[in-house]
Structure 1
């Protein structure tokens, strides 16, 4: 089947939906979700969204981001992130996002490597609330169509430029012809045995970029979150214990109940310290303890963590939580400019699949949702400038279902092979085979 649209967006997380909402209303937009719409990593985000508290905080926000990123960041992109953070959070509020407030003002919390409290949140389910806010708006837009359970197989190309995508949907193959395409397909956590990510996040966008000779960069920049709930028997995605719990005062102890690290150091340092402690004590986990904190505060501020731990027999108000680092985020990806444009004409990339250079070698806590907002809006605004002068190129293809499935398998194998090469022996987790 041939489908014609002005803009094709691959991914239904914060980057994909926010981009769609910023495309001109008179343009047709198709959004693809590899599984169900809410099965994206945005939905899982707990801690919150970084935001410069005011103009005076912008330079400090930049410094914190650069320092956490080992000064491997692209400073120009970091400045864009910080300077446009206030506007985009305000736009999100305008779309209906309900953040937590205190005394009539946004309630800012703090996480690792932030110098001050500058993270806005909605209890410990910020990502879920962001998703619900954007999804409600998307459903109300007549110009936006969502296809669930739809996998991108490859890009449609004409004279080296992108003109849409080939997708597997409803046990068939569709050809979606578009003036512009945005890859917002998420990260790589599904490639790892232990990750906080959805298992469907298998680096599809990276595989397709590699296949089409689109520039990628920093594929070895992979972040491990220090505190995921330790569950020895679970093969499912690991449950994240938000850094904001440490930001509110929770402490880390080894199995001998000894403190060993400043909990608010950058993520890579805390994760490495936990691995070292596990090796020293011959243990598979350490403890994160919030039991000394006010129980009513914990239950109200962190209802998601409280409920999920309780399901597993752990009462966080009375006992410590066993935690260990697991794969969490990908800082590398498809190389893009400040408007999220890739090395292929008419193709953009936003969110975790892209590499804006914002995060450097180690992402500062709560900068992921912000990056998705800032740079997907930039992509949309850049597209809006020229979309009315573009034509849809109706290429003809004849790929059958079996061939499409073989391409999907090939994409997975190629991206697994690529990450095995860039990881070598230096990582502490096993990649899926």
Structure 2
């Protein structure tokens, strides 16, 4: 039997940060479907929210609730905001280099925020954070990493989780046992024809959770980001960060006129863009930065600037065609404030989970913060409660049975989200 104290599925910030907050005497395995860097945390551009000072708690709290249409779990929102300063301190200790302005941090403002409270690392905040976490993880002698392995089932018996079933690139199945399992496999963008997510992020953890009747929540709460780069090609959509609009970029229709407040909550701005596209009879609207964004655009947004140049657009000079694309999942495996699921010894964190913090619509740049806050809480809970348990041996996985179960689990996942199987088929 391959036994571990803690098994973590996913290498975004939620999975990695949890591992770094677990006791060093624990034997840990981190599993990822792709490579270490192939996760949506790595793609995050805009930044990470932080409570600026005590006077910012109520505005931050209200901004989050208003964006979420007041369907948020207020206890989760409070926990996230109150923990934000501690999390930023942790990241700085790990070597994350947030942009500075003079002697202090550089804060930006994004849609539905009442003030600038978003820390950033140019336009590659996720890459900076994830890279530093990966570097530290590789230093941990108690942590093993397994890439290119897909979660296909949970090992469940006696009312608790005993580990998972994995499938490697050759198709071989194996049981991996653990006293505690944390699911952090990211979102569901791979289920959509146009998404800013990696294509392999298809809600695997949520599907197998559904198979075992683990409680889920808000499964139809899918966020569409207002602005991705329009190319007319299939494949992953390139995100045009909300921080562009936060720094002053405008959106215009075919007539060159602004048609909406660029800092509306994401769902409302998306609706306005679709309305304008229909009016213009075009598959996009246009974004314009020149004379609206202060300072050097190429220095503030080097990654986006470089990508646009590859597509034939100069971010600092041209009108850039943009279109909405699926971006984030507010639903997921239901968890409490310690990231515990309804199944004993099973935890979930990040976009895979749902503690209700985002309500019906996520406030910009709360995703990295939420993932870090509640993955750390999961690790702290495992540290405090973990004790040696007898792991139940399972028979070797049968390929036919696993595939049949997985097919049914994925069908149920699509049904819960509200996607027709025929529309999903590619």
TM-score, normalization: structure 1?
Answer: 0.95
Match of 1:49 in 2: 48
1:163–1:392 Cα contact (<8 Å) kept: no
Distance in 2, matches of 1:126 and 1:392, equals 42
Q: Is the 2:216–2:334 contact (alpha carbons within 8 Å) kept by the matching residues of 1?
A: yes
Distance 1:174 1:96 in 2: 36
Distance 2:340 2:265 in 1: 29
Does the Cα contact within 8 Å between 1:177 and 1:392 map onto a contact in 2?
no
**What corresponds to 2:113 in structure 1?**
114
Are the equivalent residues in 1 in contact too, given 2:175–2:396 (CA < 8 A)?
Answer: no
Corresponding residue SS for 2:296: helix
TM-score computed with the length of structure 2 as normaliser: 0.96
Say what the alpha-carbon RMSD is for the aligned residues: 1.6
Shift of 1:109: 0.5
Partner Cα separation in structure 1 for residue 377 and residue 337 of structure 2 = 8
Distance 1:58 1:405 in 2: 48
Deviations 1:212-264 (A, max 9, x none): 101101111110000000111x2110000000000000001012111110001
The answer on whether the counterparts of 1:168 and 1:401 sit within 8 Å (CA) in structure 2 is no
Aligned to 1:60: 59
Report the more deviating stretch, 283-292 or 304-313: 283-292
1: CA distance, partners of 2:75 / 2:221: 19
Give the whole-Å Cα distance in 1 for the aligned partners of 2:292 and 2:251: 14
Unpaired stretches in structure 2, ≥5 consecutive residues: none
Q: 1:16 to 1:54 in 2, by over 3 A?
A: same
Who is 2:353 aligned against? 354
- The answer on 1:219 being equivalent to 2:219 is yes
Question: Deviation string for 1:375-433 (max 9, x for gaps)?
Answer: 0000000000122x232504132214455445444443332233236x89xxxxx6445
Equivalent residue number for residue 190 of structure 1: 190
Question: Residue in 2 aligned with 1:87?
Answer: 86
The CA distance in 2 between the partners of 1:137 and 1:95, in whole Å, is 8
Q: Distance in 2 between matches of 1:225 and 1:34?
A: 25
SS at match of 1:16: helix
Report the equivalent of 1:30. 29
How far 1:55 moved relative to its partner? 2.0
Does structure 2 retain, via aligned residues, the 8 Å contact 1:202–1:412?
no
For 1:427, the equivalent position in structure 2 comes to: none
Aligned mates of 2:252, 2:95 — CA distance in 1: 40
CA distance in 1, matches of 2:35, 2:405: 22
What residue in structure 2 maps to residue 253 of structure 1?
252
Is the 2:330–2:361 Cα contact (8 Å) retained in structure 1?
yes
| 2:178 match | 178
Q: Which residue number corresponds to residue 105 of structure 1?
A: 104
Change (3 A) 1:111 1:294: closer
Q: Report the equivalent of 2:199.
A: 199
The answer on whether the counterparts of 2:210 and 2:409 sit within 8 Å (CA) in structure 1 is no
Contact in 2 for aligned 1:9/1:30 (Cα 8 Å)? yes
Residue 223 of structure 1 aligns to a residue whose secondary structure is: strand
CA deviation after TM superposition for structure 1 residue 160, in Å: 1.4
**Is 1:10 the counterpart of 2:9 in the alignment?**
yes
Q: Could you say if the C-alpha distance between residues 419 and 316 of structure 1 is closer, same or farther in structure 2, counting changes exceeding 3 Å?
A: same
Alignment map for 1:360-399 (pairs within 5 Å)? 360-387=359-386, 389-399=387-397
Any idea what the Cα deviations from partners look like across 1:58-113, whole Å, max 9, x if unmatched?
12111100000000000010000100011011101111111101112111100000
| SS in structure 2 of the partner of residue 36 of structure 1 | coil
Query: Residues of 2 paired with 1:45 and 1:36: CA distance?
Result: 17
Q: Is the partner of 1:225 in helix, strand or coil?
A: strand
Report if the CA contact (8 A) 1:292-1:317 is conserved.
Answer: no
Determine if the alignment matches structure 1 residue 208 to structure 2 residue 208.
Answer: yes
